[in-house]
Amino acid sequence: MAAAGPSVFLLMVNGQVESAQFPEYDDLYCKYCFVYGQDWAPTAGLEEGISQITCKSQDVRRALVWNFPIDITFKSTNPYGWPQIVLSVYGPDVFGNDVIRGYGVAHVPLSPGSTSVCENICFRHKRTIPMFVPESTSKLQKFTSWFMGRRPEYTDPKVVAQGEGREVTRVRSQGFVTLLFNVVTKDMRKLGYDTGPPDTHGILGPSPPQGLPG
Amino acid sequence: MNPQEEKVKIITEEFIENDEDADVGRQKTSRVQRRKRKKQLPTAGPDEMVSEKSHLGDQQEPGHEDPNADARPLSMPTRRGPRSLPPIPSASRTGFAEFSMRERMREKLQAARSKAESALLQEIPTPRPRRLRSPSEKELETEFGTEPGGKIQTTQQEDDSQSYSRVKFRDSVRKIKSKTPVPPGFPSAEEAYNFFTFNFDPEPEESEEKPKAKNRDGANQEEGEGEEEEAPVPEGIDKTDEEVLLDDKDAVDFLLGLDRGAEDIVAVRPADYESVHIRLQKEKELLFIPSRRTVPTYKKLPENVQPRFLEDEGLYIGARLEVPRTNQNIMENRLLMQEPGRRWFGDDGRILALPNPIKPFPSRPLVLTQEQDIKAELETLYKKLQALRNAVQVSLNPAKTPKSLDTTRRAINEYKSEIRQTRKLRDIEQEKDRTLLKTIIKVWKEMKSLREFQRFTNTPLKLVLRKEKVDQKADEEAYEAEIQAEISELLEEHREEYEQRMDEYRSAHQQWKAWKKAQRTKKKKKKQGVEEHPDDEMEEPYPEEDPVKPVPPEPTNQAVIEQEVRERAAQSRRRPGEPMLVPELSLAGSVTPNDQCPRVEVLRREDVKRRSVYLKVLFNDKEVSRTNSRPLGADFRVHFGQIFNLQIVNWPESLTLQVYETVGHSGTTLLAEVFLPIPETTVVTGRAPLEEVEFSSNQHVTLDHEGVGSGVPFSFEADGSNQLTLMTSGKVSNSVSWAIGENGIPLIPPLSQQNIGFRSALKRADAISSIGTSGLTDMKKLAKWAAESKLDPNDPNNAPLMQLILVATSGESYVPDFFRLEQLQQEFNFVSDEELNRSKRFRLLRLRSQEVPEFRNYKQIPVYDREIMEKVFQDYEKRLRDRNVIETKDHIDTHRAIVAKYLQQVRESVINRFLIAKHHFLLADLIVEEEVPNISILGLRLFKLAEQKRPLRPRRKGRKKVTVQNLSDGDIKLLVNIIRAYDIPVRKPITSKFQQPPRSSRTFSEKQAASPTTHSPTHSADYPLSQVLVRPFVEVSFQRTICHTTTADGPNPSWNEELELPFRAPNGDYSTTSLQSVKDDVFINIFDEVLYDVLEDDRERASGIHTRIERHWLGCVKIPFSTIYFQAKIDGTFKIDTPPVLLGYSKERSVVAERGFDPVRSLSEGSYITLFITMEPQLVPGESVREKFDSQEDEKLLQATEKFQAECALKFPNRQCLTTVIDISGKTVFITRYLKPLNPPQELLNAYPNNPQATAELVARYVSLIPFLPDTVSFAGICDLWSTSDQFLDLLAGDEEEHAVLLCNYFLSLGKKAWLMMGNAIPEGPTAYVLTREQSHYLIWNPCSGHFYGQFDTFCPLKSVGCLIGPDNIWFNIQRHDSPLRINFDITKPKLWKSFFSRSLPYPGLSSVQPEELIYQRTDKAAAAELQDRIEKILKEKIMDWRPRHLTRWNRYCTSTLRHFLPLLERSQGEDVEDDHRAELLKQLGDYRFSGFPLHMPYSELKPLIEAVYSTGVHNIDVPNVEFALAVYIHPYPKNVLSVWIYVASLIRNR
């Protein structure tokens, strides 16, 4: 097997759920999970995570900082179903019930690269995800859901990573979450997948793909 | 403004101060002084003035009616300068008029004063007292002349208006304060006069202070003449000034300076006169009168530009509108004077203009169209006749005709004949015209009489017969002339004819004469030689007899002809002097309003209102669009006014409009189809005329009101004669045309498409083809013709034709013969199709994305083809191959194989449907949202708010249900709690010879009564009390995983153990659908653990124990996984399915039983086990598909069912209420349609002819022998599908409903009172049972097992009853309890049972979906025997396979014994043969220790049989010298229902 070249490629993602902007809310925590296609499998790391509750910063930015690390490695045979990270942010409402404050999703960056910390250099994999929540179907329901602390939620947060069936929902957007990604891939090029700019440190020229990777 | 104002003040002052001083002359003289004083009392005047202003308004009217009103016109010109005016007119006239006026005014003032206070602030609109009517023409002219000056003035006034407005404001404040400045009863003449003069004041004040901002008070009339007014306003001032007072300078001073207060002198001067010339000159300066002379071209064009005539250059210019030259010139001159004048002129120096928009054909008022057509035709005919006549006249005059005589004559002849024809045609047309007119009048009269009769009209149609008076004399003359002309023509014609005939006659006469002569000579000759030529004589006379003497034609009689002509004229033509009647149809008639109509008519109108019509547009028989639904108008017109753009990709073949009618809210009906022709290529948008296409439908409509239906005969006459039948018909007015693309090219399909139909259509209506250019197929010819005929290529009218020619001749627009849907597909293919098909990886990927079941959950498809094993596809390919091949390996019996295949296909199609439905999401699928709570829940919630968030002693909450999304193998466990069992059979000591009293077959009743007691004495005698009766343990096997409990003691053991079995979903697919379709069963087997002492040698007994454990199967409980999945948990006591014969065991007859404490129990003797089964984690069961299935049921019935169900669900949400079900084709069917008496097989009826109960049992048994296959398994996730009984028997598989329906139908046919009973049972969950009513009690039948229970049987598996269903009604249980033990089954009591059909909704007599009769084929016995052998063989092989490490010996003797015994069992239905059997066996196999039992099953497939044999564990015996016996017996029942008996036994030889 080793002689025949790799049969899977690997995708290592680490980074963090850095911070969020929710002007109206405070004391939020966030959950993340990954959604990926059938040809993907996590090999190491955590697929799901739940962060601490954070309060707003007292400065002008009013940022909610989690700095919650993500670290996961996938293996796959097929770029179809590239992993997506699904975020859902929760926080207490007026009555102290935990309610949803936003859902969001982003694809793991396709190209390898790391985040530069320096302010002046552009962040390659810094993502700011707009968040949204489903809306109540009627005014009355809106009131009762507010009153009872049972806001409409997705049956599964992973719904936001799929396009099917979304047409039946209505959402309202609120807030942003900033994510940082560092991505390392292995053997992608060997299998014939070229992502991002040519890596000067990588293999010199793509090796001819054996077989027919699709 | 201010100057005027000031003047007013002055005047008022005057009057106030010198109250008595009415003398006008004095006024004048003293004015100067007073004016000086004005400053001392600056506000007094306005005060006064304003306060009285309103009186003024009131009294205006009377003033006008004054007889002295003639004075008014005189004062008119002074209207704008009132301040200076008063003195003058009064001075010039005598004081009398003035005086009398004053008197009147005083009186009026008195009266009005009281009113004044209230009306003070209102500005009452009054008609202007003065109009500008009086000024003479001349004055008008001067007005214009002075206008500029006036304008200056106005602007100045405007400047001042601001300062004035301040004053005004003050005034208005004061207005309020000084309401009554003049004490009542003080109406002096001065005051009156004052008042009178003020008449003029307020108005200019009002009108000028806010000239534009708002309407002048009451100035509406003046507003209309704004133009007139604006000029006079300033001009009036001027004029009066000029006329009355001052010289120019003073006037200016006066005007400008008054407000400055510099000069207070007012001088009276004579009227100023301006000469006409000066005025004209002034006018000339100001006015521009465009000259009427032609403007030279160079003026109209930019410098140094030559006029350019586009027409000469070959460009198309449309016909210009006809405008008189002078008007054009005036316009041009005017335009030239304007600033950007030249841009109005085109390159040719003419005013730019669009082509004449007027179409050349006449339009006419709405008149009956047909008549008009004939009229037009008549006219043309007339004209033609006239022209021809003229031509004849002209050509007859030889002097005028330069042509040769010959041609002339020919022409004349032609003309004449044409005249004749034309006349004939004219006459015909005339007659037609007359009759038409007559019918029109007749119809109108009928209509009128009908309207009168009905006393209302409902259409605005109105026929007006316009009489055109004709000059009697002229008409007569014309008539006469016409007749004369005709007569003369006829005469001429006749003469010609006569002459011709004369000629003929002459020639004939000549001939005749010649012949005569010849005859004579011949005769002479004959006389000479009669003898010589006898033959000749005979022959000759015949041919020569022909020429008869011609009769000379009669000369034409003029009188006759004249009479003829006159007669004809009288018949067909209008009599001279008779007025010409021109019928005109209009829609101007009034329709009787609704409130005046009789009720029936109102009804009719309402009905009409309810109707609406819409059209569907069908293109090539496909609906492409439809119009809005529009209500039918009162005049039966519907206006759509919609344009549909149709982009077509197929060749246009047909275009159809379908007219649909909607009545109220009910369904639509197709009225008619209207076929439209495909438009010609020349018909382009904007040029297509509206066409009317008639349609009619043969639909019969009867209406319950006055309106005439269609297809119904009726009569207008009162006596009902003259019947008419009207059909629904109408006209669709439409226009079809080709669109024009962006660049003006009509979007017409190219002609290169050789479509004959299209071309012929083109030929039919194209103008060119009628011209004579033969067809349009030859484009070159057409082009040539176009070139020759000098067709203007630029005329837009010809554009399509030119386009066509261009396209056709240039050949540029090549259109391929094929059409490619996705043109770029090729480019997007990243590998070629062959490669795509060859690659295993791609194939796998594709299959997965197609959701093929085998691959739906395939994970990690390898990167390389070489890593994909060929066997991955094997199953799939095999399945594909097998789809059509019926294999008989698994299915020994071919019929069942076919059925299985069919079921498989139904299942696949249903699953596909379900998969599609799965992709339709509802909000609830994606979003969890709390429902709006009702009050009680809300209250609870409120209560909860007060609760502690985290209580110390939390309450038990329901397990969280897990959605089956991210589950994998090993996540799901099946938990089985075995609690206890009752009445386990106990071992019997092996008594060597047991004598059983021989018994004949017993009757049912005897069996019931006797069975508990018969054995007891003998048995109990046998048992040594100390011996352990039985040591049972329970083994649970699921998916071949086996767990067992510890061993307990005694017939009523208690284990209380929890067993945990892992669950694996097929293909690792944990989706809901997949879980639902798991067919595995949970087997709960009860065994007896038997220890055998195998110690060979008794001597060793002291030192060791050598025993062997044997396990004897006692019975089993089988629970399908699907039940557990849907029920989430199963909790209850189940009857253990024990074999009918359990050798070596017997039921313990407890002492209790003998006391006979429960006769109830006697019915259901058996063993029971208490279980609790659930899954961990709890899975959310899949929902049934929410698709609404279509139905053929009546809409009302469906609504009623919904209502019924909703009501029931509200009251008892947990009780099952079923009204409609889905049949096998996916349609909703009302449930009672399934119930109908159906004949059971005759064979079963014949078995016990005298015992209805036994027959019933047999029938139940027969039904239970039909294999059970739950719908949820076959149709995963889809609600129950109900098949009819014949379908059920054909399929030989079904679940509880089908069994129950069939059993119920049989019972109905047996004459029992039977109902389908929907309820909950253990372990099935929601299920269907059958309830029958015996003489005194009710029996509950389990259709799947064939068992029956009394109503009060505690072990009845049915735990609750939801509803009962009979063949004609549904009864819902509304009693407090639903357990069959506690409810009353008397459905006649409406308090206990809510019935579906009641008095309010009577049973409509629904037809049954069941067949008339069931037809049973006798099962082939030979086939059954063969099957029996094969099964036996296979089972034997299987047992040997299961014992790989041991030798399996078959005891043939025992087997044959068993085989003989099995039919016996079948005959007795597995009951009470035990003792006989045992005795017999013992007799025959006395040397063996025997353990075995018969298994009884319905036959469906082989697999369940094997599974059942395996589960007994007979093969597990590993005693070395064990022998086996296996016998299979199949008893065939009609319709291929097979009852399978398998007797498995192990034998160990006793030493």
Per residue, the 3-state secondary structure of B700-749, as one string, reads CECCCCCCCCECEEEECCCCCCCEEEECEEEEEEECCCECECCCCCECCC
Amino acid at B1080: D
| B1394/B1208 Cα distance (integer angstroms) | 9
What is the tens place of the pLDDT at every residue in B699-727?
666 666 655 666 666 655 555 556 666 66
Contacts of A74 in chain B (CB under 8 A): none
Query: For residue range B1102-1114, what is the model confidence (pLDDT) as tens digits?
Result: 777 777 787 888 8
d(CA B359, CA B737): 20
Residues of B in contact with A136 (CB under 8 A): 929
Contact A144 B932 (CB under 8 A): yes
**Distance between B1129 CA and the closest CA of chain A, angstroms:** 24
Name chain A contacts of B861, Cβ cutoff 8 Å.
38-39, 77-78
Residue A87 has pLDDT above 90, yes or no: yes
- How far is it, in rounded angstroms, from Cα B1358 to Cα B1348? 11
pLDDT over 80 (residue A91): yes
Residues in a beta bridge with B854: none
Pick from B17-21, B1050-1054, B1188-1192, B1330-1334: least confident? B17-21
The predicted pLDDT at position B1019 comes to 41
Contact A77 B862 (CB under 8 A): yes
- Residues B319-356 have pLDDT tens digits of 777 788 888 888 888 887 776 666 777 777 777 777 77
The verdict on a CB contact (< 8 Å) between A141 and B932 is yes
Mean pLDDT of A82-92: 94
pLDDT at B1537 over 70: yes
Q: Residues B497-521: what's their mean pLDDT?
A: 80
For residue B932, the chain A residue with the least C-alpha distance is A141
Q: Give the mutation candidate from B863, B918, B938, B948 for the A interface (greatest A CB count, under 10 A).
A: B863
Local confidence band at A176 (pLDDT 50, 70, 90 cut-offs): very high
Tell me whether residues B929 and A145 touch, CB distance under 8 A. Answer: yes
Nearest to B863 among A8, A158, A159 (CB): A8
Mean pLDDT value across residues B1211-1236: 81
According to the model, what pLDDT value does residue B152 have? 44
- Read off the pLDDT of residues B1197-1209 as tens digits, 9 standing for 90 and up: 888 888 888 888 8
Contact B1067, B854 (CB under 8 A): yes
Q: How confident is the model at residue B893 (pLDDT cuts 50, 70, 90)?
A: low
Least confident span in B1-10, B428-437, B1083-1092, B1143-1152: B1-10
Chain A residue numbers with beta carbons less than 8 Å from the beta carbon of B842 are 212, 214
Q: What's the pLDDT score for residue A132?
A: 94
Q: Give the pLDDT band (50/70/90) at residue A166.
A: confident
C-beta atoms of B921 and A141 within 8 A:
no
Chain A residue numbers touching B863 (CB-CB < 8 A): 7-8, 77-78, 191, 211, 213
- Sheet harboring B1228-1230: ordered strands across? B1228-1230, B1220-1223, B1281-1282
Partner-chain residue, chosen from B857, B858, B862, that has the shortest CB–CB distance to A7? B862
Q: What does the pLDDT look like over B46-61, one tens digit per residue? A: 444 444 444 444 444 4
pLDDT digits (tens, 9 = 90+) for B1114-1141: 888 888 787 787 777 788 888 888 777 7
Please report the pLDDT score of residue A173 as a whole number.
Answer: 92
- Residues A79 and A164: their CA atoms lie apart, in Å, by 20
Could you tell me which of B1550, B1530, B1533 has the C-alpha nearest to residue B1542? B1530
| Element spanning B1421, H or E | helix B1421-1442
Q: Of B674-678, B994-998, B1421-1425, where does mean pLDDT reach its minimum?
A: B994-998
Size of interface A-B (CB pairs under 8 A): 111
- The nearest CA of chain B is from the CA of A119 a distance in Å of 40
Determine, for residues A211 and B919 on separate chains, whether the beta-carbon distance falls below 8 Å.
no
Q: ipTM greater than 0.85, yes or no?
A: no
Pairing verdict, β B1393-1395 and B1370-1373: antiparallel
Mean pLDDT of B383-400: 59
* 3 state SS of B1195: helix
Q: Is B257's pLDDT higher than 50? A: no
Q: Which residue has the higher pLDDT, A110 or B473?
A: A110
SS3 A100: strand
For residue range B265-280, list pLDDT tens digits in order: 667 777 777 788 888 8
Q: Which of A41, A153, A191 sits opposite B927 (nearest CB)?
A: A153
Instruction: Collect all residues with Cβ–Cβ distance below 8 Å to B437 and sequence separation of at least 6.
Output: B371, B581, B583
**Cβ contact, residue pair B845, A214, below 8 Å:** yes
B926:A152 CB<8 A: no
Name the more confident of B336 and B196. Answer: B336
pLDDT at position B778 over 70: no
**pLDDT at residue B938 tops 50:** yes
Q: Do the Cβ atoms of B848 and A38 come within 8 Å?
A: yes
Chain B positions touching chain A (beta carbons under 8 Å): 830-831, 835, 839, 841-842, 845, 848, 857-867, 919, 921-923, 925-933, 941, 945, 949, 963, 965
Query: What are the CA-CA distances from residue B1292 to residues A124, B187, B1237, B1307 (Å)?
Result: 67, 121, 20, 19
- In chain A, what residues touch B931 (CB-CB under 8 Å)? 141
Closest approach of chain B CAs to the CA of A22, in angstroms?
22
**pLDDT above 90: percentage of residues in chain B:** 0
Enumerate the residues of chain A whose CB falls inside 8 A of the CB of residue B830: 214
Closest residue, chain B, to A212 (C-alpha): B864
Q: How far is A20 from chain B, CA to nearest CA, in Å?
A: 24
- Report, in angstroms and rounded to the nearest whole number, the Rg of chain A calculated over CA atoms: 20
Most confident of B179-193, B197-211, B857-871, B1301-1315: B1301-1315
Average pLDDT for residues B487-503, to the nearest whole number? Answer: 78
Q: Which residues contact B456 (CB under 8 A, 6 or more apart)?
A: B592, B596, B597, B598, B601
Sign of CA dihedral B1479, B1480, B1486, B1491: negative
Whether B844 and B861 have beta carbons less than 8 Å apart is answered as yes
Residue B189 CA to residue B209 CA, distance in Å, equals 30
3-state secondary structure (DSSP) of residue B1348: strand
Between B485-494, B791-800, B1292-1301, the lowest mean confidence (pLDDT) is in B791-800
DSSP characters over B1030-1076: --EEEEEEETTEEEE-----SSS-EEEEEEEEE---GGG--SHHHHH
Q: What is the pLDDT of residue A88?
A: 94
State the average pLDDT over residues A64-86.
93
